[in-house]
Amino acid sequence: MLNSCDLAPHYQPIHYALPDNWQGIAPFHIAQPSDQIPKGAWWHVFNDLVLNQLENELDKNNPDLQAAAETYLQSRSVLGEIRSNLYPQLYLEAGGGKYKQSYHRLFRSKTSHAPIEELNTQYQASILWEADLWSKIKNEIRMQRNLVQAQAADYESAKLTLEGDLARNYMLLRGYDSQNQVLKESIRYYEAAVDITRMRQVGAISAGIDVSRAENQLAITKAQQTEVQAQRDLTEHAIAVLINHFPFDFHIKSINSNLKDYIPNIPIGIPSALLQRRPDIASAERQMAMANRYIGVSKAAFYPDITINAASGFQDKGFGLANMANSMWSAAIQGTLPLFQGGLRRASLQKSWSVYRQTLDQYRSVVLNAFREVEDNLTLTQKMRLELKQNKEASEAALRTQGMAMSLYTGGITSYLDVVTAQNAALTAQLAEVKSKTKLMQSSVDLIIALGGGWNIQQLPQKNLASFGVLQYNHLDLKEKR
């Protein structure tokens, strides 16, 4: 009865009017209940064992993720601190001392025979409890519970971001592997071309300028390969740091892959589901709920605070404490109501309303940006598929032209300048095809991240948000497990 008054406004999450679904085109389709991005391990849609292993290592060992988990644990610990205010505070005191006064202290008569030394011992138990008449403490607890949930969502958002960074870097690394393979094959082809021009020069069939052109083309391509290998090393270093490895002793084996097997079909679901699948949206909504409770705390400041305390114990000048004649006790109830504070409480209340409106605006901004990210990556992934198809056609045509130009040159019908032009066009087209595949893979990762990576708001913690029990004294030094 004493704790029944709640001054916080009724809270209802904001609902936005949304269309039924996106008009996506292949490879996107409306998700069915059994057709979803894998929960948690969303990267499994790429069917890559190395990526699976790297992502698992990141979830276990990434230091930034571990720090985010500790932030979440700290918010749970603060919830325990605030929750303690609901309970009576019990204290046990004991002490003793021997005291001596000066013979020449003030107002002491020279003829006084009062003792100047005295022994004092005492022990007592006391209890202090604040009656939460206006639900100030309970609203503070609810605020912190909302913050704990927001921190949990922030952790999931940080985790999703780091997992996405790793996947994007991995796709880039495999893209460099493919570029290196294209350059390797081109170098082999150009080395054969150098041999042909040299033989033709020896036979006085062609001029030395053809040899110089062939050698120049070969050297430039080798330099391109060196640059690609350097960029691959840097990308590998970035992956090493993400999974908490030192770059100098970390290596991912190169593979001759065209990335084709990694391109997934991604279910996009419906817009309203996005509000349930993005941890950053969940965090923004919990911040809004917390701000709503802050209004109730500010309103409670206008009402009196009631404190009840009691104490009982024994006091004696010697050691005869266990004597009822030496017992003592006190009981008190105190109410405090500020009458004038120069507008302090009204300023706090006005601020709390402003904070709530601010979180509402921030929530709307997060939602709008979430939909923008999804639409951006739907567009990118769709266009990158078309670009990949076009670059593939250009690559095939350029390779045919390169073969025909070399045949015409060896037959003495055209100059080597036409061969070099065809070689440049073929190499550029092949690298463009590989880069299109890499960008398509990265945009696929970004689309999955924008869709929440298989996360769902139901994964937010609901019960046992405090990090320890009221009577728990062990295992307080353990790390947070998520």
- Among the residue ranges 272-276, 370-374, 460-464, the one predicted with the least confidence is 272-276
Is residue 18 a part of any domain in this protein? Answer: no
Coil, strand or helix at 383: helix
Q: Please give the C-alpha separations between residue 198 and each of 191, 192, 201, 207, 421, in angstroms, as whole numbers.
A: 11, 10, 5, 9, 19
Q: What is the mean pLDDT of the chain?
A: 85
Per-residue pLDDT tens over the stretch 347-369: 989 999 999 999 999 999 998 89
Whole-number Å distance between alpha carbons of 293 and 141? 9
What is the number of structural domains in the chain?
1
72 in a structural domain: yes
Q: Which pLDDT does position 121 carry in this prediction?
A: 84
Question: Is 414 inside a domain boundary?
Answer: yes
What type of residue is 409? Answer: Y
Residue 96, pLDDT > 60, answer yes
First to last CA, the chain: 38
Give 33's pLDDT tier (boundaries 50, 70, 90): very low
| Residue that is written with structure tokens 């904070």 in the block | 355
389 within some domain: yes
Residue 54 domain flag: yes
Q: Is the pLDDT of residue 95 over 90?
A: no
pLDDT tens-place string over residues 287-343 = 999 999 989 888 888 888 888 888 888 777 766 666 777 778 888 988 888 888 888
Note the pLDDT of residue 34: 44
Residue 28's DSSP bridge partners are 266
Query: Quick one: pLDDT at residue 27?
Result: 47
Beta strands in 254-356 (DSSP E): 266-267, 305-316, 327-336
pLDDT score for 261: 56
* Rounded (10°) CA dihedral 40, 42, 43, 47: 120
- Asked whether the predicted pLDDT for residue 57 surpasses 70, the reply is yes
Residue 123 lies in a domain: no
In terms of residue numbers, what domain contains 371? 28-88+133-303+343-459
* Predicted local distance difference test score (pLDDT) of residue 262: 60
Q: Find out whether 444 and 419 touch, Cβ atoms under 8 Å.
A: no
Is there a domain that residue 455 lies in? yes
List the CATH number of the domain containing 273.
Answer: 1.20.1600.10
pLDDT tens digits, one per residue of 144-190: 999 999 999 999 999 999 999 999 999 999 999 999 999 999 999 99
**118 domain-assigned:** no
